[in-house]
Every structure is written in structure tokens, then in C-alpha cells.
Amino acid sequence: MAFTVTFENADGYLRFEVSGVRVSRTLARDMLDVWKRVAAECRARSAARVLGINRLTGPVPTLEVFHIGQEVPGILGPDVRRLAFVVLGGEEALSANRFFEDVAVNRGLAGRVFGEEAEAIAWLTAP
């Protein structure tokens, strides 16, 4: 796998971190592999809420972000009721992932992108 992904159970949600360097030609494939691993972990741990921490560096190609946003709702399925995704690494990455949020939410994902973990946890754990 192109990226490193770690998982841990937190209080009421599954937390994962993804790190590595984005490569323009393979970003969509690599991130969809990450999301498939996240979905498998959610099923294995019966996690309906997910906190993702994005520590990736490198370019963020818009077309690939669009493709990822199209696919993630289907990959996570109805069992993931809420996803908070924290993007570290600058305004360009945060902006691109807000585009991901728009695309994914329009396809049924209950998710939001954040720039800070504390804010993401507050939203994720709210009733």
C-alpha cells in the first residue's frame, strides 16, 4: 500500500490516521484502498462513527479528489453513520478535501472535513 494507515478504538468511534506522499497519477487508487481498509475495520469493530486524520503531503489533483468523493459513500456503506475527516498540511489540502466533502455528501455520506481534531471530535460525538 502506498500510504501508512493506523487504527485505534476511541471513545465511541474508530480513529484512523493516514500518512505518506500523494502521487498525482495514483492518488485516487491509493486513497480508495485506504477507504476500503477503513470500511473493513468499521465492520470488524462495529464502528458507526469514524474520525480520520489526514497527514498526507504532496499535490492534490482535483479530478482524483472528485473520483474519491464519488466512491467513498458506496465503500463505507450505510453502517458508517458519521465521518469526520481532519486534514493537516495546509490550506490547499484542506480546500481540496472540502471539495471531496461536497461530492461525497451529495452522494449520501454523512461526513464533514475539518482543519482541527478537537472540532471534528465535537461534531462526531454530538448526538
pLDDT at residue 32, as a whole number: 98
- Interval 14-42: pLDDT, tens: 999 999 999 989 999 999 999 999 999 99
> With contact defined as beta carbons under 8 Å apart, do 40 and 76 qualify?
no
The answer to whether the predicted template modeling score (pTM) of the entire model surpasses 0.75 is yes
- Interval 55-85: pLDDT, tens: 999 998 999 999 999 999 999 999 999 999 9
For 86, the grid coordinates are 481532519
For 3, the grid coordinates are 500510504
Q: What is the 3-state secondary structure (H, E, C) of 66-90?
A: HHHHHHHHHHHCCCCCEEEEEECCC
Q: Spell out the CATH class of 4-125.
A: alpha beta
Q: How far apart are CA 1 and CA 89, in angstroms?
A: 21
Q: How far apart are CA 67 and CA 83, in angstroms?
A: 18
- Interval 81-109: pLDDT, tens: 999 999 998 888 899 999 999 999 999 99
Please state the φ and ψ torsions of residue 55, each to the nearest 5 degrees.
Answer: -110, 25
For 61, the grid coordinates are 489533483
Q: How far apart are CA 16 and CA 106, in angstroms?
A: 23
pLDDT at residue 54, as a whole number: 97
Query: With the C-alpha atoms ordered 20, 5, 110, 24, is the resulting torsion angle positive or negative?
Result: positive
Q: How far apart are CA 6 and CA 38, in angstroms?
A: 10
pLDDT at residue 90, as a whole number: 85
From residue 9, how far is each of 44, 46, 51, 90 by CA, in Å? 11, 11, 10, 27
